[in-house]
Amino acid sequence: MADKELFGVRSKFVDKVSKELISQLLDDILEDGVLNDGEKDSILEDNNSRADKARCLIDMVRRKGDEASKKMIARLKSRDPSLYSELGLSSGQPAPPAAEPPQEWSTTLIRTTEAFWREKQNDRNIYPAPKSSIRNRVALLITNIKFTDEKFSRKGAEKDKENMEKLLTALGYDVVKHTNLTGKAIDDSIIEFSKHPKLKETDSVLVVIMSHGKLGAVLGVNCKNETSGDEEPDEFLINNIYKHLGSEKCSALLDKPKIIIIQACRGAEGGSVFVNDGANSALVCDDVRQPDPSPSAGEENLEDDTLRCVHKEKDFISLLSSTPDTVSYRQTDRGSLLIQYVVEVLNTSAHEDDIEELFRKVMQRFEDFSVHTKRQMPTKDRCTLTKRFYLFPGV
């Protein structure tokens, strides 16, 4: 069957076909009646990269069945005999399965189509996002770069701040920025953010915090490698985010998605020790070795069962940069791996994927990450989303 033959060479076709050949094939199969004008325009206009156009073309044709697939194969043979032969189509047999080509990551945000946004507005399983609310989006961005103890300063974090601000702005969020805060100042800034006048009109909020950390806490700029029992540690308890932005303290965000991204270590498991950003170190971790956390610091995921008129904690989703007790890594020239991957995935897929799928794709990026014996795996945490949330970039 010709449609199965096309499926067998799909990956290699996507990898090898040129933009010029795609355009020629589209003209040919339009003339053959395989596609109509709308389908041809959809392939060209709804896909930014060459690979996406090729993938959409071959998928659309093979789904139309054997006859349509035969016509495309005949046109391919006429237009590019060399590629036709390389794909193994000359014998009528599918070429051996080829590995899927590497994902092409977009460096700019791909826009959602008006039709896609309109379609999702009628789905009760999706959080509503009217254009008036999208225009009132607001985000909080906190980045700790320079610390009182200079050996803790986070080289490369400047790049994280720049990249996240660019992404959030492109997604339509008005970004409230803070840099180099103590633990108390982080807490105060989130309380202040919970009173932002735009929260009543927004469809969602994004909170991004980037610093050193330990299990259950983000460290402030006055943190020390070790804290005596008499001295209060400079830290912000992550659990406070859910308190300050939850239903009880922030009614303006009731039933609205609250997306949290935290780039910070959650411990030093695996024999990791404090690492400062030395001149010869291109990959460092956001861990400041701390004593074992007290039970209260490690229990941020335990909640009391309390009867309330509304859910105490709902519509949150968090992406933490590592699993509990482990470190997360940062390149001193490009910034944190988590932030790099978040930007790439959202730029490429936010126009069509909901936030949980986007976070899954970010986590998937770390499956193959390996530098000697180093490993890192982000974690989706405390997800209480009851519907799917789409960012609808560009609407």
Catalytic residues: 212, 265
Asked if 49 contacts 347 with a C-beta cutoff of 8 angstroms, the reply is: no
| Residue 130, CA distances (Å) to 204, 259, 261, 286 in order | 11, 18, 24, 38
| Rg of the chain on CA atoms, in Å | 25
Asked if 72 contacts 89 with a C-beta cutoff of 8 angstroms, the reply is: no
* Side chain identity at residue 96, one-letter code: P
- Placement of tokens 């069509």 in the chain: 352
Asked if 29 contacts 61 with a C-beta cutoff of 8 angstroms, the reply is: yes
How is residue 134 annotated by DSSP?
H
**Distance between CA 318 and CA 328 in Å, rounded?**
16
Strand order in the sheet with 235-237: 213-214, 217-219, 235-237
Decide the pairing of beta strands 235-237 and 217-219.
Answer: antiparallel
How is residue 98 annotated by DSSP?
-
253: tokens are 């965000």
**Distance between CA 313 and CA 385 in Å, rounded?**
10
